Structure 1
Amino acid sequence: MSFVADRFGFPPVVTQQQLAAMAPHVRSECVALMREAGLTIEQIARPLNVRPAVIERLASARHRYQLPRAAETVDEAGDGTSKPAHRTEGLPRGSFLILKYAAQRQFELSIGKDDLASELGVSHKMIDAGMARLLDEGLIVRAAAGSGHKPALYRATERGEQFAAAVFHLDTTGA
C-alpha cells in the first residue's frame, strides 16, 4: 500500500463515508481543497475507493449557493460599484409598520413586543429591529419603562410625528 500525501506531507483527511455524507457544495469544496494541496485526481480517488471520473465531476461541479444576507452586494447603478444588499440607510419595514400603528393611536404605544408582532402580523425580530431603529433615529422615545407585566410606553417625538405625517399623508391640523 502506497502512502499518498499532499504537498504538506498529510494524507487525505476524509473517508469515503464522510465524503458521501457531506452536502454537495461542501463535498466539492473538500475535493477542491485536496487538489489545491497538490494531490492529483487519482491520488484522491484511490484511498476513497472511487473512480477518478467521480472525483473529476465533484471537483468541477457548480452549486447554487446563496451568500448570507448581510454579505450580499448589489450593483444597482450598473456602474461596477456595489453596495451591501442589506440596506444600511433608510428605515426597515418594521419601523414603518410601528410608526403607522402609533400614528393611529395618537402617537403612543403601550403594547408588548409580542402583542405588537401578532397585531401587525410580523415576526418578533422585525418588531425588535424596527423599534431599535426608531429609537436610534430619534423618531420615538421611551416615555415610561415597563414594570411588572405592564409594557413600556413609547411616544413619537415631534420629528417622528412630522415624519409619519409626511410618509402616511396624515392630517396635521389636529382634527
Structure 2
Amino acid sequence: MTTTRRARIELGHGDITRMAVDAVVNAANSSLLGGGGVDGAIHRAGGPTILAECRELRAGRLRDGLPTGQAVATGAGDLPARWVIHTVGPVYERTGGAEATGGTGGTGGGALLAGCYRNSLAVADELGARTVAFPLISAGAYGWPREDAIRTALGTLAGIDTEVESATLLLFDAATLSLAEQCLAEIRPR
C-alpha cells in the first residue's frame, strides 16, 4: 500500500524529553554515545537503556557511526515516548560563500539536513509511530542559520508522504518559535 497522507505539522516550545509522543528525534552525533544539547538531554533523561542500545548498534551494523542525514531507532528508556529516532545533522560552515558540511566538503549540506527529517519519518513509519517530536536539527552547536534550518525542516516535513499523523517541531525559544510560525504560514495551503 502506498501512503498518500502528509503529517499535520505542529510547532511548540519546550523540553523534548517530556514529550508524550510515540517517538522523539534526537539530534545525535555520529558516535551515538551522547553529547551536548538535545543529544545529552535525551541520554540523561532516558537513562542507561538508550546508551546501551546505541552501543549495541555501534558494535554491530554501525561500527563507523551513524552517517550524516541517516536515522536509526532505539527504545526510549525512561522517556515518556516509546522510541528515540537518532539522526546526525550536518555541521554548517561558510566556505567561499557556499554552505558546506564538516566531513563531506563542498556543498550539499541542505540536502543532508533535509535527509535527517525525511529519514527520521521513514524510520517512524517502519516503527508504526503516529506522533513524532523533532528538535530543530543542526541549529544549535552545528551552527545552521535558524531561518534556513526552520525552512528546511518545515518544507521537508510538509512534502513527505507518511503514516505519521502529527509531526511537532520543538523550538528552543520564543523568538525561534515566532519565526517558525511565520515560515509555516508561508508554506501552508491557503
Task: State the TM-score bracket (shorter-chain normalisation).
Answer: under 0.3
TM-score (norm 2): 0.22
Higher relative contact order, structure no. (Cα contacts within 8 Å, ≥ 6 residues apart): 2
Q: Name the larger-Rg structure.
A: 1
